[in-house]
Copies of this chain bind each other. A is one copy, B any other.
């Protein structure tokens, strides 16, 4: 197969940004992150911090390298992120007992309480997005389409 998609091929002057996947994807992502930032401004939580806390909450004891891989970020860039959360006493590093080069991450008690608040705020944010989309069925459809863009690897837990 040559093109494979049977697409509506058009002339160069038809290069409208409004119909370009990457452009629209970027704009939508920025709008969603802005809503997130507004929602969490009082808690002073950024998306990357949210994602780390969410992973540690669901997978206590995970090593930093594993978290970096799940988030597709460099281990080097995870350090300051975890430093900040540790300084706020939300998560703690515990030396691995079998391999003492590693750190296993856990929520502190304050971290557990923080997660409860975080979840409430996130739920409001997410509901707002779902409302904009038109409902949970549209949300599911969107997640499915985004998964397709992400390539073969389907959802595999966080």
**A residues neighboring B (CB under 8 Å):** 3-9, 12-13, 15-33, 36, 47, 51, 54-55, 57-58, 70, 72, 115-116, 119, 122-123, 126-127, 129-136, 138-139, 141-143, 145-151, 155-158
Write the nearest CB–CB distance from A136 to chain B, whole angstroms.
Answer: 6
Q: Are B127 and A3 in contact (CB under 8 A)?
A: yes
Chain B residues contacting A131 (CB-CB under 8 Å) are 4-5
What would be 11 A-B contacts, judged by CB atoms less than 8 Å apart? A6-B135, A7-B127, A7-B136, A16-B157, A22-B33, A22-B36, A23-B51, A25-B25, A133-B149, A138-B148, A142-B142
Within the assembled complex, what's the spacing in Å between the Cα atoms of A158 and B8?
19
B134 adjacent to A148 (CB under 8 Å):
yes
List the B side residues contacting A24 at CB < 8 Å.
Answer: 143, 146-147, 150
- Given the interface contacts A16-B158, A22-B47, A155-B18, does A6 sit within 8 Å of B148 by beta carbon? no
Quickly give the copy total for this chain.
2
**What are the nearest 9 A-B pairs in CB distance?**
A17-B158, A28-B146, A12-B119, A18-B155, A28-B149, A15-B54, A22-B32, A5-B130, A29-B29
A130 CB to closest chain B CB, in angstroms?
5
- CB of A110, distance to nearest CB on chain B (Å): 15
CB within 8 Å for A72 and B130 given contacts A57-B12, A141-B141: no
Q: Min CB distance, A35 to chain B, in Å? A: 8
